[in-house]
Structures are given as C-alpha cells and as structure tokens.
C-alpha cells in the first residue's frame, strides 16, 4: 500500500525551521473578497456543557472554544498541515523532543491584556493540574509524563517532550492558550474546574480567537461578535474576521435544521446533510439558494460498544457474556454491513471494519480482519458462551435461565443513529437476542457513558486530528476516551497492553513508513478484538447558503467554522 507523508511533519523531524510551513496565517488566499461584512446564522445540534476548553469533550463546547480562543499552532483542516498561529514560528531539535517557539508580538486577549509566555506557562500548569482533571491532559502526556515548558523571555517558549515525539508541535493544535490574568486565582484556590461554566457571564470570558461570545440563551442560541482585538489581517491589510456576527441556533431536530436552511433562515448547518435530505437540498442548489459541498467518506464512523469495565460484571455477574470477545464477534457477524449502509445511510456510505475510515487516506489500513455477515458462525459463538434457546420461545437464555437481553443507548433526534439502533435490534433478534433501544438526549447520553452507567451504546467519536498520535486518550488503556473501559490504572487485557506498547513505540519513530506499519498493527488488534464495532462510514456532505463566501469545508469538525475568521458573505445582508 502506498502511503504519503505530511511535508510539515517530515521537515519538523529534520529539525528545520517551520515558521513558513503552510504559509503565514495572514497570507491565506481568499476565494472572494467580501464587498461588505455582515452577520451569518448557523445551527448546532446540542448545548455546550462548558466554556472551559480544558473540560470540553463534546462538539458544541469545543466549537465555542474554536471561535473564541486560539492555540500556538493550527492544523489547517483542508491541507492537514501545521501552521504558525499564536507562535509565529519555531525551531526543532533533531531528537524530536525540544521545540523553541517564538510568540507573535503585539497580540492581546479580547479584553486588551497582552499575551506573553506567562500565559503559555499558566495554560500548561492548568492542563496538568489534578484538581482540574482536564479531558485534554491524556492526549498531551507521553508514557504517562507531561510536556515540560519553560519561558526564557516574554516572547519565547521552549517545550520539552518527555520522549521523542514524531508529530512534534502538531499536537498543540488542541490546546488553546488561557488568560492567566483571568483564571490564575481559580487555579490557585482549586476552583478552576468550576470556572467558565455555561452560567458564566460572557463579559467574564476572554480569548484570542476571532470572535467573542456576546450571549448564550440555553435551548435557543449562542451569539458571537467580532473580536476587535483579533491579531490576524488578510494580505491586503484588512483586519479579520470579516463577519460582524455569528449566531448559532440550537436545533436538535435534523428535519427542522434542514428546513431552516432551505427557507433561508440559516446560512449553514453544523453537521452533515442527511441522505434523506439530498433531494430537497438538490432542489435548493439548482435555484442557487444553497451550496452543497461533497467531502467524500467521513473520517469518523459511528460505532457500537459495550461496557467492558470489570465492575459492571461484578454488579451483575449474570451479564459476564456482555464482556466476552466471542460475544462481540457474534454481534459483528450478525450484521450485514452492506445492508446496514443501505438502510441507515440510504446507500450513501460504505462498509468499514475499524475506527480509521477510507476518509483518512494516510492512516487507513484496508487489510483488517473482517467478520462478515455469517449467522451460522454467530450462532456457534453464542452457543459456545452457553447462550441458547432453552425453552424454544425464540429467545436465548444464559446458563442460569435469564433471557439474553441488553439496553442500547443512542442519541435522540439523530435519525441515522436511531435507524442504526433499530437495524441492530432487528439483526440481533434473528439470533434470539433482545435489544431494548433507548434514545436519549445527547447530554444525558454523554453523562451515562462517561459514568459507565450503560450496557451498550451506539454513537460516535470525533477525532481531533487525522494523525492518531493526536488522539492518544482514545487508543491508550489509560485514556479518558477509551470508551469501553476508560482510565485503566493498568491494561485490563493483554491486547490492550500490546496496543499501549505499540502506540508508545510509534510516537518515537521518525520514519513515517515505520509509523504506519506500527499503527496498522494497532488497527489489526482492535479489529480482532472488536471493543468497538464499526459497520459503515457515511459519505459526508455539508451545506451553506448561496450567499456565503470563502467557504473551505473540511472533513474534520467543525466542517464550516474551522476558518471562521475568513468566512464572508456576498450580496445583501
């Protein structure tokens, strides 16, 4: 299989100066200059749970941070390359462990306070503070050790990785710089975890992103206005952002969301265009009111997973079969992935067998073990677990006579996830397995999953980077996003211990081909053990109104707003 390296990563490993890698932010080419800036209205499908990015794990909270805050570097979501951001450039040692970043001069937070290296030191201190318990910390620890940071002067920061780390400063894209002058008192008195909650007055928030949060009305909308202190300019010297205002309407129902786009009430939707909406959207495209952007196969695929925390079995020892590998393999064999793609996504998807989809062209491994549709083999596996139909009523029972049944949580209002749960329910019924589908609101779903209060769940994981090194909190057994059994003090299984070893090894390897080989083995182990069961990856399309300009949609979230500072509108407001 032919693999392609990212040029910026290769140069970084060579210890070269990357200050111009991907171009200076202010030099970004614009597809169209706005004749006048104006407001736009978009949608989000849920509520933010926090305005504190250290604690932000779900899409809406991360999106607020992307609009209002900024990091030292940025991954360009269309080129996948690392760009200078709050750091105007950096040099890297040949060992891949030490990087010296030069901060931009004259940058201030939205409230006018200067940004210096002291804010960088503070951000890393807060990141690793145990009392804060940041969801980002796991992805920024290496072999369990944090990044060490020092500041020789106000404009210079030196970061020391504890081990050779091949992607280099790329990983810093996920970490926005926090205002020391605002948040240090909360860190010192141990209340930073409670700071910047969703009830915080917007005037108390500040960042260096292109927008500031003006207001938040729960259940209705988030309103952002231009940050007058924003540091970026276009190549004509015009201060960014172009837009005066972005309003994000909270629309949990996908049918209502698409209707608002068709009628011109909103300029973009935050998620994908559903397969069932393509005909209606195509009509709007033909009359020029809507632009449809086809992005190919999604890099994220929804999945089924079971609660594999040992304590779950202790609470109900009759459910030991839920944690058995053969159970997961039987479920995988029960599902016809082609039929699943056709039913759930109306054919606009392709079967997959692991977490990395063909949309991630660099890291996708096409030769994974495939547990294809095979009801006979599924029956053999279930019988081997002692799960048989003992009384002839069409329902399997375990050795103690308890019917084989489990509750499946999924996201209420997400039509593809609700359809997927129904397909799984029907497929498993053919094997005598009862599935109680429980659609619940997304916030409640996240709460149930993070507290490990569930049998099984079907939803998705939004990777923060195409490079798996940026999602160690997912792959490592100690990670907080290791969904099936997170935060393990030691690996619970031999195969998870092996993944931990391989993940640590591939981070240290400078040769990209070798990194790919090691990660292919990780993907193979995951496919063989099926802690996550993937069935199909949709073909991703996003839509905007016809008046939006400079749209560069990305297969990574946020699809539209990743480059919010250069978005513009044309025609009458």
Which CATH number fits the domain that encloses residue 526? Answer: 3.10.105.10
Q: What stretches of 266-340 adopt beta strand conformation (E)?
A: 290-297, 303-306
| Res 7 pLDDT > 70 | no
Category of 556 on φ-ψ map: left (φ > 0), alpha (ψ -120 to 50) or beta: beta
Check whether residue 328 and residue 454 sit in a common domain.
yes
Average pLDDT in the 546-566 region? 94
pLDDT (tens digit, 9 = 90+) per residue, 444-502?
998 999 999 999 999 987 788 899 988 888 999 998 889 999 999 999 999 999 999 99
Average pLDDT in the 248-264 region? 91
Residue-level pLDDT at 36: 44
At residue 63, the 3 state secondary structure works out as helix
| Res 34 pLDDT > 70 | no
- Ordered DSSP codes for 9-35: HHHHHTT---TTTT--GGG---S---S
Sign of the Cα pseudo-torsion (129, 133, 139, 141, in order): positive
Angle at CA 185, nearest 5°, toward 184 and 190? 100
Lowest mean pLDDT across 7-11, 120-124, 550-554:
7-11
Is 42 inside any structural domain? no
Give the separation between CA 238 and CA 318, rounded to whole angstroms.
66
Average pLDDT in the 316-339 region? 93
Residue-level pLDDT at 96: 84
At residue 311, the 3 state secondary structure works out as helix
Average pLDDT in the 137-157 region? 94
Tell me 177's DSSP state.
P
Residue-level pLDDT at 571: 65
Check whether residue 59 and residue 179 sit in a common domain.
yes
Lowest mean pLDDT across 277-291, 343-357, 362-376:
277-291
Packed helices 117-128 and 180-188: angle between N→C axes, nearest 10 degrees: 30
Closest alpha carbon to 4 in 520, 364, 352: 364
Residue 560 has a CB neighbour count (10 Å cut-off) of 24
Give the separation between CA 179 and CA 187, rounded to whole angstroms.
12
pLDDT (tens digit, 9 = 90+) per residue, 276-326?
898 889 888 988 899 999 999 999 999 999 999 998 877 787 778 999 999
Check whether residue 458 and residue 309 sit in a common domain.
yes
Check whether residue 307 and residue 183 sit in a common domain.
no
- What confidence tier does 572 reach under pLDDT thresholds 50, 70, 90? low
**Residues with Cβ < 8 Å from 451, sequence gap 6 or more?**
none
**What is the rounded average pLDDT for all residues in the chain?**
90
pLDDT (tens digit, 9 = 90+) per residue, 92-113?
998 889 999 999 999 999 999 9
Is 173 inside any structural domain? yes
Contact of 162 with 506, CB cutoff 8 Å: no
Check whether residue 184 and residue 325 sit in a common domain.
no
Contact of 294 with 539, CB cutoff 8 Å: yes
Question: Burial, 221: exposed, middle or buried (Cβ in 10 Å; 0-12, 13-18, 19+)?
Answer: middle
Residue-level pLDDT at 505: 93
Q: Which domain holds residue 128?
A: 7-27+52-195
Lowest mean pLDDT across 14-23, 247-256, 286-295, 345-354:
14-23
Is 141 inside any structural domain? yes
At residue 141, the 3 state secondary structure works out as strand
Residue 534 sits at φ, ψ, to 5 deg, of -100, 140
Give the separation between CA 239 and CA 565, rounded to whole angstroms.
10
Is 521 inside any structural domain? yes
Contact of 532 with 305, CB cutoff 8 Å: yes
Give the separation between CA 92 and CA 96, rounded to whole angstroms.
7
**Residues with Cβ < 8 Å from 117, sequence gap 6 or more?**
103, 151, 153, 154, 155, 156, 157
Question: Burial, 158: exposed, middle or buried (Cβ in 10 Å; 0-12, 13-18, 19+)?
Answer: middle
Q: Is the model more confident about 284 or about 177? A: 177
Check whether residue 336 and residue 475 sit in a common domain.
yes
Give the separation between CA 35 and CA 231, rounded to whole angstroms.
21
Chosen domain end from 163, 195, 227: 195
Q: Which helix (H) or strand (E) holds 458?
A: strand 456-459
pLDDT (tens digit, 9 = 90+) per residue, 260-271?
999 999 999 988
Is 307 inside any structural domain? yes
Chosen domain end from 171, 195, 219: 195
Closest alpha carbon to 49 in 475, 525, 530, 447: 447
Is 556 inside any structural domain? no
Residue-level pLDDT at 13: 32
| Res 229 pLDDT > 60 | yes
Give the separation between CA 545 and CA 567, rounded to whole angstroms.
12
Q: Which helix (H) or strand (E) holds 183?
A: helix 180-188
% of the chain exceeding 90 in pLDDT: 78
| Res 148 pLDDT > 80 | yes
Is 388 inside any structural domain? yes
Number of domains in the chain: 2
Chosen domain end from 166, 195, 224: 195
Is 45 inside any structural domain? no
What CATH number is attached to the domain comprising 176? 3.90.76.10
Residue-level pLDDT at 143: 87
% of the chain exceeding 70 in pLDDT: 93
Which pairs with CB-CB distance under 8 Å and at least 24 residues apart come from 364-368? 365/1, 365/519, 365/520, 365/523, 365/524, 366/1, 367/1, 367/520, 368/523, 368/524, 368/527
% helix, strand, coil for the chain, step of 5:
35, 20, 45
Closest alpha carbon to 475 in 141, 139, 170: 139
Give the separation between CA 405 and CA 18, rounded to whole angstroms.
55
| Res 33 pLDDT > 60 | no
Tokens coding 508: 């240290």
Look up tokens 């993944």; give the residue.
499
């Amino acid at each position: 299989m032919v693999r392609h390296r990212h040029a910026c990563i290769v140069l970084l490993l060579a210890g070269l100066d990357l200050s111009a890698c991907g171009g200076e932010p202010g030099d970004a080419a614009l597809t169209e200059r706005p004749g006048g800036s104006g407001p736009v209205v978009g949608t989000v499908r849920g509520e933010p749970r926090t305005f504190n990015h250290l604690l932000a794990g779900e899409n809406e909270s991360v999106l607020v941070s992307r609009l209002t805050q900024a990091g030292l570097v940025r991954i360009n979501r269309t080129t996948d390359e690392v760009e200078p951001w709050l750091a105007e450039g950096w040099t890297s040692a040949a060992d891949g462990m030490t990087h010296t970043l030069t901060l931009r001069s004259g940058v201030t937070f939205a409230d006018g306070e200067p940004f210096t290296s002291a804010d960088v030191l503070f951000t890393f201190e807060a990141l690793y503070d145990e009392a804060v318990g940041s969801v980002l910390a796991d992805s920024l620890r290496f072999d369990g050790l944090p990044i060490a940071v020092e500041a020789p002067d106000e404009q210079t920061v030196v970061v020391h990785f504890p081990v050779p780390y091949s992607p280099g400063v790329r990983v810093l894209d996920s970490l926005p710089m926090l205002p020391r002058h605002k948040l240090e008192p909360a860190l010192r008195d141990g209340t930073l975890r409670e700071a910047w909650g969703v009830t915080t007055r917007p005037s108390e928030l500040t960042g260096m992103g292109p927008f500031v949060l003006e207001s938040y009305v729960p259940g209705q909308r988030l309103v952002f206005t231009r940050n007058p202190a924003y540091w970026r300019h276009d190549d004509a010297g015009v201060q960014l952002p172009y837009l005066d205002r972005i309003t994000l309407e909270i629309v949990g129902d996908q049918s209502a969301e698409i209707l608002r786009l068709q009628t011109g009430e909103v300029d973009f939707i935050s998620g994908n265009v559903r397969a069932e909406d393509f005909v209606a959207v195509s009509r709007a495209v033909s009359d020029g009111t809507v632009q449809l952007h086809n992005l190919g196969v999604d890099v994220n695929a929804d999945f089924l997973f079971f609660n594999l925390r040992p304590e779950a079995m202790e609470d109900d020892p009759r459910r030991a079969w839920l944690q058995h590998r053969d159970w997961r393999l039987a479920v995988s064999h029960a599902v016809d992935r082609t039929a699943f793609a056709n039913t759930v996504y109306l054919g606009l998807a392709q079967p997959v067998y692991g977490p990395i989809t063909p949309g991630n062209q660099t890291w996708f491994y096409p030769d994974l073990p495939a547990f294809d549709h095979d009801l006979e083999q599924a029956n053999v596996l279930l019988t081997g677990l002692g799960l048989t139909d003992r009384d002839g009523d069409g329902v399997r029972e375990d050795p103690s006579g308890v019917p084989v049944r489990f509750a499946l949580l999924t996201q209420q209002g997400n039509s593809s996830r609700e359809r997927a749960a129904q397909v799984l329910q029907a497929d498993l019924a053919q094997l005598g397995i009862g599935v109680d589908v429980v659609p619940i609101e997304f916030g409640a779903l996240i709460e149930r999953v993070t507290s490990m209060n569930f049998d099984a769940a079907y939803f998705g994981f939004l990777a923060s980077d195409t490079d798996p090194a940026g999602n160690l909190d997912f792959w490592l057994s100690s990670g907080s996003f290791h969904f099936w059994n997170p935060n393990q003090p030691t690996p619970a299984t031999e195969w998870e211990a092996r993944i931990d070893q391989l993940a640590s090894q591939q981070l240290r390897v400078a040769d990209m081909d070798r990194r790919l080989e090691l990660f292919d083995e990780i993907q193979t182990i995951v496919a063989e053990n099926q802690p996550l069961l993937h069935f199909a990856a949709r073909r991703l399309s996003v839509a905007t109104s016809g008046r939006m300009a400079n749209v560069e949609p990305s297969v990574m979230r946020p699809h539209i707003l990743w480059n919010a500072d250069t978005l513009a509108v044309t025609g009458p407001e």
